[in-house]
Amino acid sequence: MRLIRSLLILPCVVATFPNDQAITSDHTAETAGLSSDGPFDSQMSSFIETTLSKFHVPGISISFSNGTTTYAKGYGISRTPNTAATAETLYFGGSTTKSFTAASLLMLMERSANSSDPINLQTPISSLIREEFVLPDDYATLHVTLEDALSHRTGMPRHDSSYGGANVTLKDIVLGLRHLPMTAEVRTKFQYCNLMFITLSYVVEKLTDMSLGDFLKKNIWKPLRMTSTFFSLTDAQKAEADGNEILATSYFYNETTAKFVPMRPFDAPEVSGAGVMITNVVDYAKYLRAIMNEDPRILSHESYVELRKPRTFLSADEHSAFTGPVGYSFGWEITVYKGHQLFYHDGSVPGYAAKMMYIPEKNWTLALMSNTDMYSDWAIDIVCFELLDNLLEIPAKERFDWMGKYTKDEEMWKNNWKSARKNAYPSAPSPPLQTTLELSKYVGTYHNPGYRNLTLRLAESPAWWLRDAEAVLHMDTFEKTWKYTLDFEHVSGDYFIARTMSPSFAPAASFDYQYFEAEFRIGPDGRPSQVGLTLEAEMGSKKIWFDYLG
């Protein structure tokens, strides 16, 4: 990898809050009083610069709160060629939005407690949106509760390739759940599911007769003076046009040209409470302090207790830097790091990444945001835990090697791409069997009720093709929320490897170098009857099957 030789480093903004009430003071008051760089000394700044260079991350903004003092700083660029990333630069927060969705539902539970029709954590979702909320399993339909959906334990996996499209609504997405396979019994397994938080967004709309974004603005952002937080790209762009903070441009690093390529702005309102918020690290410092200190303007003490109670657990070996398993509760992951309890959540959408964290014992909060995807996730973790280790005064020999971890992850990720055929089909014959039909006969549109249509066509093999140039079956998901292309590499018979790449108009590292197993079935009429792809990881080798339409 080629290193970026020059990065912009901005002065550190320090905000001092004399008391809890000052959380509600306006932005000007909170960013007044420039002081020392706090934790962002020259050594830490150099470490951040090196990390951004190594992973080709354009810019990053960070806030750190220690008691009543908040430090915030930007590094690198928010827009080429030289618009600096600052403490006030806006980014998409991705899945950090989920904690706001959870807080909204807890608010509604509190407000309904003395009504004739109260809701609580055990309220089945189907009792609130009976016609829309139907799952493939009747028991799950009747028994999945708000608590289950908030905890990723409904039995429904991600199915992220299933939704989206022009003018798609939250209701449309909820209605589609009935066609998507479940992969676990209710309350038996943690399975991260954006679809369930989209469903919860729809629940809030139905209960309040207002959008989730409007509800958040009225009940959380306004009380906390989060004046730089938005629920749509349009609103953020309008604020910028009015002279307010700018939204960082998202970039993809082209390794061939060694240049940053601007990405198309992420605009997917259908993701809603699963991950559409746009904000900055200064506003998140206000929010994190409010949650950590149990601000009564947001929730009651009882609701804060529920917010922090683990409902499901991730396996311990996935997070070897932590002590024991990682718990999940209502948009927060909960773990122990170097003897201290952490509450945190990551967020990522194409072109952006974020992380938020608070440590009650220390009265610390951290928020980090950046403007590329995947590599930003890695850089944010590396910077976050280096900063945390410094603050905790962890000896060098006791520190987890985050840089080494992600360097190895990148190498493994690219090696898996190269060895996809062997990994997916270790017993495939050599030489391979011919396809049953000529390749052109597989062209056409195929349909699955949950994933809707996919259309295959013949195309020239792309520039990155690992074999000699040839015609290949090709499709794209440009009408969906998450956009990528698929090129089908023949393995043997009617079995293929479908390799993903992000489109040239919206390059994104998170969609590059992935692959699915693919298989065609031939009907008695000698025409293709189905194509199956392993689009959902929780289903293992089981495929999502699409029927041939012609």
pLDDT for 6 equals 31
Res. 272: pLDDT tops 60: yes
Give me the phi and psi of 318, to 5 degrees please.
-75, -20
Residue 317 has pLDDT above 70, yes or no: no
Please report the DSSP string for 60-112 in residue order: EEEEEEETTEEEEEEEEEEETTTEEP-TT-BEE-GGGHHHHHHHHHHHHHHHH
Q: What is the pLDDT of residues 509-539, one digit of tens each?
A: 778 889 999 999 999 999 999 999 999 999 9
11 confidence band (pLDDT: 50, 70, 90): very low
Question: CA separation (Å) from 550 to 4, 433, 454, 472?
Answer: 50, 25, 11, 18
Asked if residue 81 has a cis previous peptide bond (ω within 30° of 0), the answer is yes
pTM for the model: 0.92
Whether 3 shows a pLDDT value over 60: the answer reads no
> What share of the chain has pLDDT > 90, as a percent?
80
Instruction: Give CB contacts under 8 A, 24+ apart, made by 29-34.
Output: 30/70, 30/225, 30/282, 30/286, 31/72, 31/87, 31/88, 31/282
The tokens for 377 are 């996730």
**Are 190 and 196 a contacting pair, CB within 8 Å?**
no
DSSP state of 441: G
Give me the amino acid identity at 253. Y
Rounded to whole angstroms, what are the CA distances from 130 to 118, 124, 168, 203, 458?
A: 16, 9, 20, 11, 43
Nearest-CA neighbor of 292 among 344, 353, 336?
Answer: 344
- What residue ranges define each of the domains in the chain, with the CATH number in brackets? 13-92+234-306+338-414 (3.40.710.10), 100-208 (3.40.710.10), 420-548 (2.40.128.600)
Alpha-carbon radius of gyration of the chain: 24
- Rounded to an integer, the average pLDDT of 320-335 is 91
d(CA 497, CA 129): 40
Q: Which two tokens stand for residue 364?
A: 């610390």
> Would you call 159 helix, strand, or coil by DSSP?
coil
DSSP H helices, 225-273, are 233-241
Report residue 256's pLDDT band, with 50, 70 and 90 as the boundaries.
confident
C-alpha to C-alpha distance for 82 and 10, rounded to whole angstroms: 12
Give per-residue pLDDT as tens, 111-167.
Answer: 999 999 999 999 999 999 999 999 999 999 999 999 999 999 999 999 999 999 889
Confidence at residue 373, expressed as pLDDT on a 0 to 100 scale: 84
Q: How many CB atoms lie within 10 A of CB 182?
A: 20
Dihedral angle sign, alpha carbons of residues 159, 384, 101, 231? negative
The mean per-residue pLDDT over the stretch 304-311 comes to: 96
How far apart are alpha carbons 312 and 318 in whole angstroms? 15
Tokens matching residue 363: 């009265």
